[in-house]
Amino acid sequence: MARKIMMEKAITNAEAKGVLEKVKEEELGEFQRRTLDFTRRFSKIPADRAAKLVEAKTMQF
């Protein structure tokens, strides 16, 4: 079954980790599991701090 994109938004790895951790791992597909594994390994700061950093940097440029 084809999936429909409802909304597209660029988010940080830390934010993606938070979104994926809200879902039970059994319900995740292979791509989502790999993404969750990646974000667990490489996200070093909390999602709220990452969002603040992105906002601060985008305001500078």
Along the chain (61 residues), what's the average pLDDT of each consecutive run of 10 residues? Answer: 84 94 93 96 93 91 79
Distance of CA 36 to the CA centre of its chain: 8
What per-residue confidence (pLDDT) applies to 57? 92
Domain parsing of the chain, residue ranges = 13-60
pLDDT, residue 12, reads: 93
Alpha carbons 13 and 51: distance in angstroms, whole number: 10
Q: Is 42 exposed, middle or buried (0-12, 13-18, 19+ CB in 10 A)?
A: exposed
Task: Note the pLDDT of residue 1.
Answer: 64
pTM higher than the cut 0.85: no
